């Protein structure tokens, strides 16, 4: 059997005859996040056609670099989409509305996806509406952490499971920033919340805890190509950075876009000079079309009312930690939110005199999109959303602001009672997972 990393956050599992068994999180064509994110290596047509024959497709969570409808529509209608039992049901509702064939995998239960080759999967939904995927094969346990950043209570349980399985283990996880950690600016200088070194240290610690045999880098394979997001490429952690900072002796690091045999663990990989790129003229055309739409859109009063309503949902937090107000720079017009009121400011200089806590700079059309789709938290992932901070403000408070507003996106804290119920349920789910024995599935 073979395991291969493709696209951005996809692992492709095939049998000894190279017949497809499973693909995860397939973003394999086009771009995402308003033409900001593009793949650094696109699968060629031969590989794409093989992937599209997969019987099983697992989606870890609903971020568009993992749940990508333009890619999904290329699969056979007979392919079965499998999704985790996440706290939020929006992914399930989307699939139902758009008539996808899918099923929700039960928590804490193994599901056989290929009886011929004894392949089973196990889904672990997490509080942040992400999930871990375990794949059991005859020789190997595959642990797909994608972007989930699981707490230590989960990692310790996985460590014990891997050890008791007495099988080789392959770990896959994101390893590079995909958030606002480097989007902060003070007087046009970058304020970095996390450095490349921080991500490499985290990954080393992860490998040391789980003691996996092999680490395959993935879920960080995007390039930022808009003129207002290109800056983020220099903050990407690449394979060479991982190699230079690799301190763990328990886990072998192999290159990006590797294909590894699950029988003898030999592998091949795609060399950088053989990466498949999109035609640059086409990329520029698509980006220009998007930025033209944004330039021609005017953020109006209806949008402003939605924005006020959204910010007010977490005013218990903003009024406590951002007493000087939150500003929005939208298409060169600035608005200040202060104690639930909106003050229209005609110039950025005037806003600076008020020394507001932070200012979010974002195109009006993009802001309208996230307000209408109720995915405000996506602004923190675009790489073209900038956070202009006042001197002395701890950026971690702004990071907490985005976490809270994302929880509201998913409906978890739309009221105090909702928040308490959600919290109790998460404690219950984590406790149940930790206390329940995690064993290999029975071979059929």
Residue 339 has pLDDT above 80, yes or no: no
pLDDT score, position 340: 64
If you average pLDDT over residues 63-71, what whole number do you get? 95
For 191-248, write each residue's pLDDT tens digit.
899 999 999 999 999 999 999 999 999 999 999 999 999 999 999 999 999 999 999 9
- State the virtual CA torsion across 406, 148, 131, 20 in degrees, nearest 10: 130
Number of neighbours of residue 291 by Cβ within 10 angstroms: 18
- In the chain, where the domains are located: 2-283+430-435, 301-413
pLDDT score, position 414: 84
Residue 443 has pLDDT above 80, yes or no: no
**Which of the two residues, 270 and 76, has the higher pLDDT score?**
270
If you average pLDDT over residues 24-41, what whole number do you get? 97
Per DSSP, what are the bridge partners of residue 214? 170, 252
When pLDDT is cut at 50, 70 and 90, the band that residue 4 belongs to is very high
Q: What is the CATH number of domain 2-283+430-435?
A: 3.60.15.10
When pLDDT is cut at 50, 70 and 90, the band that residue 405 belongs to is very high
When pLDDT is cut at 50, 70 and 90, the band that residue 333 belongs to is confident
CATH 3.40.50 fits 301-413, yes or no: no
Residue 91 Cα distances to 66, 87, 103, 379, 411, angstroms: 12, 10, 11, 19, 13
Task: Evaluate whether 332 touches 351 at the Cβ level (below 8 Å).
Answer: no
pLDDT score, position 404: 94
If you average pLDDT over residues 401-407, what whole number do you get? 94
Per DSSP, what are the bridge partners of residue 252? 214
Among candidate residues 48, 51, 111, 119, the one with its CA nearest the CA of residue 82 = 111
**Which of the two residues, 135 and 417, has the higher pLDDT score?**
135
Residue 12 Cα distances to 23, 100, 106, 131, 258, angstroms: 5, 21, 22, 18, 11
Residue 366 has pLDDT above 90, yes or no: yes
pLDDT score, position 361: 94
Residue 444 has pLDDT above 70, yes or no: no
Computed over every residue of the chain, the mean pLDDT equals: 93
pLDDT score, position 442: 80
Would you give the end-to-end CA distance of the chain in angstroms? Answer: 18
Q: From CA 182, how far away is CA 86, in angstroms rounded? A: 28
Residues 6+ apart with CB under 8 A from 85: 104, 105, 106, 107, 123, 125
Q: From CA 126, how far away is CA 412, in angstroms rounded? A: 13
For 101-157, write each residue's pLDDT tens digit.
999 999 889 999 999 999 999 999 999 999 999 999 999 999 999 999 999 999 999
């Amino acid at each position: 059997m073979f395991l291969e990393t493709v696209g951005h956050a996809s692992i492709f599992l095939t049998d000894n005859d190279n017949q497809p068994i499973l693909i995860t999180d397939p973003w394999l064509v086009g771009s995402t996040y308003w033409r900001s994110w593009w793949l650094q290596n696109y699968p060629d047509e031969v590989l794409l056609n093989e992937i599209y024959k997969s019987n099983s497709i697992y989606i870890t969570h609903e971020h568009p670099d993992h749940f990508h409808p333009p890619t999904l529509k290329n699969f056979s209608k007979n392919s079965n989409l499998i999704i985790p039992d996440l706290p939020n049901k929006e992914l399930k509702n989307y699939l139902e509305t758009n008539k996808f064939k899918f099923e929700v995998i039960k928590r804490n239960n193994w599901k056989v996806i290929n009886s011929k080759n004894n392949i089973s999967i196990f889904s672990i939904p997490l509080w942040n509406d992400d999930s871990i995927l375990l794949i059991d094969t005859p020789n190997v346990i595959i642990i797909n952490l994608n972007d989930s950043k699981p707490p230590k209570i989960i990692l310790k349980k996985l460590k014990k499971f891997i050890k008791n399985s007495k099988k080789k283990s392959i770990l896959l996880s994101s390893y590079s920033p995909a958030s606002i950690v480097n989007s902060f600016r003070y007087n046009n200088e970058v304020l970095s919340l996390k450095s490349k070194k921080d991500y490499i240290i985290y990954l080393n610690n992860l490998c040391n805890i789980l003691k996996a045999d092999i680490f395959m880098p993935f879920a960080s394979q995007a390039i930022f190509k808009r003129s207002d997001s290109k800056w983020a490429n220099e903050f990407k952690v690449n394979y060479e950075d991982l190699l230079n900072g690799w301190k763990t002796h328990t886990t072998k690091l192999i290159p990006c876009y590797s294909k590894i045999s699950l029988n003898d663990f030999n592998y091949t990989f795609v060399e950088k000079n053989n990466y498949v790129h999109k035609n640059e003229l086409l990329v520029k055309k698509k980006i220009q079309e998007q930025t033209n739409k944004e330039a021609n859109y005017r953020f109006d009063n209806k949008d402003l009312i939605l924005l006020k309503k959204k910010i007010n949902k977490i005013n218990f937090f903003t009024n406590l930690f951002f007493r000087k107000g939150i500003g929005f720079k939208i298409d060169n017009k600035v608005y200040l939110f202060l104690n639930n009121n909106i003050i229209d400011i005609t110039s950025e200089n005037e806003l600076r005199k008020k020394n507001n806590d932070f200012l979010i700079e974002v195109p009006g059309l993009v802001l309208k999109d996230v307000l209408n789709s109720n995915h405000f938290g996506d602004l923190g992932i675009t790489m073209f959303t900038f956070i202009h901070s006042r001197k002395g403000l701890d950026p971690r408070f702004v990071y907490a602001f985005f976490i809270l507003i994302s929880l509201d996106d998913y409906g978890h804290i739309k009221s105090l009672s909702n928040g308490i119920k959600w919290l109790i349920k998460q404690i219950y789910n984590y406790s149940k997972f930790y206390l329940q024995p995690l064993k290999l599935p029975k071979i059929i």
